[in-house]
Amino acid sequence: MAQNQTKYSFIAEEIRKRIMNHAYPLNQPIPDEITLAKEFDCSRMTMKKALEVLVLEGLLYRKRGHGTFIIKSALDADRLQIHNQEVNGFTKLLNGKKVISKVIEFKVIFPSEEIAERLHIEMETPIYDILRVRLVKDEPYVLEHTYMPVGVIPGINQQILEGSIYSYIQDELHLKIASSYKQIRADKATLLDQQYLDCASDDPVVEVEQTVYLNNGLAFEFSKSRHRYDKFVFTTVNIARR
C-alpha cells in the first residue's frame, strides 16, 4: 500500500484491477462484503466504503437482495472511461499502460485575465504554459494545454513533462490533489487537433476544461484538454438517496 493511501482506497484499487482483468464473472455478483472483508483483513465498514468508490465510478451497481454486480459497459476495451469524479491524471487513468508525453511548448508567462481568474491568482503571478500531446502505443489520445502557478507547483522541467506531472506533484512535492471543476463540450477539430491528434477536419473533438485544487484549497491547474472522440467515454453516475 502506497504511503498516505487509505485502506479503503487501496482495496478499491485492487478490486478495480480485478474487474478490468475480468477476474469476476459478469453474469454473477462479485463476492459479498463479508467475504471480501475477510480476504483483505479489514472491517465490513471499510469494505463497504471501498465498494462505494467503485459504485460512484460507474464500475459496480447494487441490486437489492441479489448482491453487487459489474456494469458491463464499463469494460469497453476500445475507449477509456473518464468518470465525473475523476481527479487523477492521464497516466493513472491508463492503469499501467505506457503513456508517452511529447512536449510541444513549455514556457513561463504571466496569465491572461481569464486564466488568472480560473486559478484565483493575480495577473502578475508567473505561471507555466504547457502544451503536450499524450500518446498510447504511438497513437495520440489527447492534446493538453495546461497552466499552473510556478509558486504552487515549483520545479517543473522538461523531464517531468515527459512523464507524469501528477505523479511529480504527489510523490515528489507530497501534495494532495483534492477536487476539480470540469466543463465538457463538443467542438470541431482545429488545425492543432488535426496536426497532433491525427484528426480529420470534420472530426468532432471532446474538450474538457477544468480547474483542479489541492486539499489546502489552492488551485494548481487550469487546463483545456482536447480528446479524440473515438478514444474516450465520459461517464456520470447518479445515485438516488433514500
pLDDT score at 32: 94
Please report whether residue 240 resides in a domain.
Answer: no
pLDDT score at 71: 80
Statement to judge: residues 85 and 37 lie in one domain: no
For residue range 192-233, what is the model confidence (pLDDT) as tens digits? 999 999 999 999 999 999 999 888 888 999 999 999 988 876
Q: What is the CATH number of the domain that holds 123?
A: 3.40.1410.10
pLDDT score at 89: 56
The boundaries of the domain holding residue 124 are 80-235
For residue range 29-74, what is the model confidence (pLDDT) as tens digits? 999 999 999 999 999 999 999 998 888 777 888 888 889 998 876 6
Q: What percent of the chain has pLDDT over 90?
A: 58
Statement to judge: residues 70 and 112 lie in one domain: no
Statement to judge: residues 59 and 94 lie in one domain: no
Among the three residues 54, 74, 94, which one is the final residue of a domain in this structure? 74
pLDDT score at 2: 55
Please report whether residue 242 resides in a domain.
Answer: no
Statement to judge: residues 109 and 222 lie in one domain: yes
Statement to judge: residues 15 and 105 lie in one domain: no
pLDDT score at 3: 54
HEC readout, the chain: CCCCCCHHHHHHHHHHHHHHCCCCCCCCCCCCHHHHHHHHCCCHHHHHHHHHHHHHCCCEEEECCCEEEECHHHHCCCCEEEECCCCCCHHHHCCCCCEEEEEEEEEEECCCHHHHHHHCCCCCCCEEEEEEEEEECCEEEEEEEEEEECCCCCCCCHHHHCCCHHHHHHHHCCCCEEEEEEEEEEEECCHHHHHHCCCCCCCEEEEEEEEEEECCCCEEEEEEEEEECCCEEEECCCCCCC
Among the three residues 20, 44, 74, which one is the final residue of a domain in this structure? 74
Statement to judge: residues 51 and 108 lie in one domain: no
pLDDT score at 241: 47
Number of domains composing the chain: 2
Find which of 4-8, 101-105, 134-138 is predicted with most confidence, using mean pLDDT. 101-105
